[in-house]
Amino acid sequence: MAGKEHGVERGDGRFPRGFAFRLFVYLVAGHFFAGFLYLLFEVGGS
Q: What is the pLDDT of residues 27-39, one digit of tens each?
A: 999 999 999 999 9
Q: Give the CA angle between residues 23, 6, 1 to the nearest 5°.
A: 155
Residues 45, 35: Cα–Cα separation, whole Å: 15
User: How do residues 10-21 score in pLDDT, each as one tens digit?
Assistant: 566 677 889 999
- pTM for the structure as a whole: 0.58
Please, is 3 exposed, middle or buried when counting C-beta atoms within 10 Å of its C-beta (0-12, 13-18, 19+)? exposed
